[in-house]
Amino acid sequence: NSAKLSNLTQAQLEFLAVQAKSYSQGGRLPDYIPRLAEVNPEWLAVEINCTNGESFRFGESEIPFVLMSVIKPFVLLFLLEEMGKEAVFSHVGMQASDKPFYSIEQLEADQGWPRNPMINSGAIALASLLPGDNGFSRCENLRQWLNQSAGTNLILDKAMLNSVVAAGGGRNRSIAKLMFEFGFLNAPEIAIDTYNHICCLAGNVSDLANLGMLLAEEKIGISGENRRIVNALMLTCGLYEASASFAVKVGLPTKSGVSGALLSVVPGAGAIACYSPALDRIGNSKAGIFFLEKLTNSLNLSVFV
């Protein structure tokens, strides 16, 4: 995979990205967080980092965006490093979900047990385990660890956080309340506050690619087992209901966020980061998914070799 990824040419990247950009036109911006809709739906930025040091870039690379759910695998990685897998998986499951990321119905059916860390329930449960006294300080601890480990420049987007808080987040509150009632969450208010903060960590597509490199290769201070756990959960759960079919079509651990951020890991070879805000029905970036399919098919990339 390493040779295949770095065999990419800039011309090939641009050809596929331009096709993907026109494909974004069928997508929609989310309306439940008003500030997320204040962007140009046709933006597309791509950055690919290879483990051999090569890097490719295309499009609106300088534009900052919030990570939203793309933070979820990194909360998991941080906590696996801090607490170990037994402790982490006593708070969240590792089972795929065929329901939307905000599903209350499924959480009720599962009696308040959050299925996996890539959907809202699981990420809210994990947010409650971050070290710190309040949402801000917990987010700060995660932010600093990521910036140090990945060499990123993530910042907290306060305007987006205000927009998220003003929107109310009724579903996420209901999710937290349900987990609390079933005894799977302490202090739901701080958990939600922390979750809102970490979803509003922001960077550009280059930061996103650098985050991906934490999962793509050996890094001093991060255990290989933890990296493999996160990659496995991204592959099986990272794109919600679309995860299984995407694993067949593309076969790379991938995580999306409603901001239009999309990150794929090519273990041992590199990371592919995309940002394009127009979404499909499931809440995944339309142009991003299209681009990844075309890219991996033309390079013959897959974890299944």
101 touching ligand GLN, by CB under 6 A: yes
Which residue from 92, 89, 182, 68 is spatially nearest to 174, judged by alpha carbons?
Answer: 182
199 touching ligand GLN, by CB under 6 A: yes
Q: Is the CB of 222 or the CB of 274 nearer to ligand GLN? A: 274
Cβ contacts of 181 within 8 Å, gap of 6 or more = 112
d(CA 86, CA 265): 24
283 touching ligand GLN, by CB under 6 A: yes
Q: Is the CB of 169 or the CB of 270 nearer to ligand GLN? A: 169
258 touching ligand GLN, by CB under 6 A: yes
Q: Is the CB of 8 or the CB of 198 nearer to ligand GLN? A: 198
CB of 218 to ligand GLN, least distance (A): 29
d(CA 24, CA 279): 8
254 touching ligand GLN, by CB under 6 A: no
Q: What angle do CA 103, 99, 284 make, to 5 degrees?
A: 95
d(CA 248, CA 32): 31
CB of 209 to ligand GLN, least distance (A): 18
CB of 263 to ligand GLN, least distance (A): 12
Q: Which residues pair with 57 in a beta bridge?
A: 47
CB of 258 to ligand GLN, least distance (A): 4
d(CA 221, CA 144): 15
| Beta carbons of 245 and 184 less than 8 angstroms apart | no
Q: Can you tell me whether residue 297 is helix, strand or coil?
A: helix
Cα distance between the two ends of the chain: 7
CB of 193 to ligand GLN, least distance (A): 12
**CB atoms inside a 10 Å sphere around CB 258:** 22
Q: Is the CB of 258 or the CB of 301 nearer to ligand GLN? A: 258
CB of 157 to ligand GLN, least distance (A): 12
Q: Is the CB of 17 or the CB of 239 nearer to ligand GLN? A: 239
Q: Which residues, 67 to 96, sit near ligand GLN by CB under 6 A?
A: 68-69
User: Would you tell me which residues interact with ligand GLN (CB under 6 A)?
Assistant: 68-69, 101-102, 120, 172, 199, 257-258, 283
- Could you list the residues known to form a binding site for substrate, using ranges: 69, 120, 172, 195, 240, 258
